[in-house]
Amino acid sequence: MSSVAALSTPSAGARLEPAMIETRDLRDDDVRIDVKFAGICHSDIHQVREEWGSATFPMVPGHEIAGVVSEVGPAVTRYAVGDRVGVGCMVDSCGECEFCKDGEEQFCTKGSVATYNGRGYDGEETKGGYSRQVVVSERFAVRIPDALELDVAAPLLCAGITTYTPLKRWNAGPGRKVAVIGLGGLGHMAVKIAVAMGAEVTVLSRTLAKREDGLALGASSYVATEDPDAMAGLVKSFDVIINTVSANLSMDTYLRLLRPLGALVNVGLPTDSWTVRPGSLVGGSRVLAGSNIGGIPATQEMLDFCAENGIGAQIETIGADEVNEAYDRVVAGDVRYRFVIDTATIAVG
């Protein structure tokens, strides 16, 4: 085992503070990664604040990890020391079930292992990317193309893949109208990716405060959801709506913005239940759907797509001592559009 500096929280809702943690000795197929940047996803905040139910503490969050391979186990074939790699939300899966064989490891029947706030098949608690180093199987590392800087690539490992997956599945592309609800970390990536796929994109944000940014990201229109007249003008407009909001919204309100056969896909993960009027779905044979991150092959495909299209996240880089304040700013909607921790600033003592 070796000790590395990380940002850890001792209990639900407590502050993240520097602490030394142990990384495991390299297994045959492991790579050690010197983490350079770690994105702050709203899911980190949900878990640190125990909003998704019982969590494991002390917790080192972080599942938007970009870094450089610094050591490889003897059976590693895909990566060499010096390679630029990323790690997202999973670090293991059975590798044998139908979903793993299909490259949909997030649906592993044995249960995929979460990058942090999870437990490996060896029984050890997992620790995430707010850390100077992580050790993972090479099967769960993806290659970051040279065209992407590591800081703007880090958020792609969750925000990128989580939005790429439903946009691809629901055929965002030329001739298709896509709306994105919420212009935060996931939302701004959804806009960039849908535009690059060729779709016509509308941002649905609470106010017009971020309108200029939304249009600069490539959206062709931008509507304040707090404006009832503007919302009324959007009825039956969209083929696909991606809901990235971290709080509960009225599904009926947004389902009526779908054209017949359209899909409202939820990626935001608040915990309260919805009620939905059956007529909101049946009327236009509409689909109310969800989407959970994406598999490892799709994550590599997404990174290659982003590199080819010159897409990185729009980030604000912060030091380790700014992380707790950054959490409050994310919850307050005061982030444009992803905080990324420069992990070189994590030091103990």
Stretch that binds ligand NAP, among 6-14, 145-153, 169-177, 285-293 (CB under 6 A): 285-293
Stretch that binds ligand NAP, among 119-127, 229-237, 238-246, 319-327 (CB under 6 A): 238-246
CB-based contact 113:93 (threshold 8 Å): yes
Read off the tokens for 63. Answer: 């599942």
| The only residue of 43, 112, 131, 291 in contact with Zn ion, by rule CB under 5 A | 43
The answer to whether residue 206 forms part of the interface with ligand NAP (CB under 6 A) is yes
DSSP string over 166-230: HHHHTT-STT-EEEEE--SHHHHHHHHHHHHHT-EEEEEESSSTTHHHHHHTT-SEEEETT-HHH
Between 43 and 246, CB nearer to Zn ion: 43
Q: Tell me, by CB under 5 A, how many residues bind Zn ion.
A: 3
The answer to whether residue 211 forms part of the interface with ligand NAP (CB under 6 A) is no
| The only residue of 31, 38, 41, 156 in contact with Zn ion, by rule CB under 5 A | 41
Instruction: Give the amino acid at 142.
Output: V
The answer to whether residue 312 forms part of the interface with ligand NAP (CB under 6 A) is no
73 binding partner (options Zn ion, ligand NAP, none; Cβ < 5 to 8 Å by kind): none
Whole-number Å distance between alpha carbons of 273 and 175: 33
160: Cβ–Cβ under 8 A, 6 or more apart, which residues? Answer: 189, 193, 302, 303, 306, 313
Encoded one letter per residue, x for contact with ligand NAP by CB under 6 A and - for no contact, window 166-185 reads: ----------------xxxx
Q: Which of residues 134-193 bind Zn ion (CB under 5 A)?
A: 158
Strands (E), the chain: 2-8, 17-23, 30-39, 65-72, 84-87, 90-92, 113-114, 133-137, 142-143, 177-181, 200-205, 221-224, 238-243, 258-266, 287-290, 315-318, 338-342
Give the residue at shortest CB distance from ligand NAP. 184
Pairing of strands 30-39, 338-342: antiparallel
283: Cβ–Cβ under 8 A, 6 or more apart, which residues? Answer: none
Name the minimum Å distance from CB 292 to Zn ion: 11
The answer to whether residue 43 forms part of the interface with ligand NAP (CB under 6 A) is yes
The answer to whether residue 69 forms part of the interface with ligand NAP (CB under 6 A) is no
Whole-number Å distance between alpha carbons of 87 and 142: 7
86 binding partner (options ligand NAP, Zn ion, none; Cβ < 5 to 8 Å by kind): none
DSSP state of 284: T
Between 166 and 262, CB nearer to ligand NAP: 166
Whole-number Å distance between alpha carbons of 106 and 293: 7
The answer to whether residue 343 forms part of the interface with ligand NAP (CB under 6 A) is no
Q: Of 283, 181, 291, 282, nearest to 241 (Cα)?
A: 181
The answer to whether residue 142 forms part of the interface with ligand NAP (CB under 6 A) is no
Give the residue at shortest CB distance from Zn ion. 41
| The only residue of 153, 178, 240, 293 in contact with ligand NAP, by rule CB under 6 A | 293
Which stretches of the chain bind ligand NAP, using CB under 6 A? 41-43, 46, 158, 162, 182-187, 205-206, 210, 244-247, 267-269, 291-293, 330, 333, 335
Which stretches of the chain bind Zn ion, using CB under 5 A? 41, 43, 158
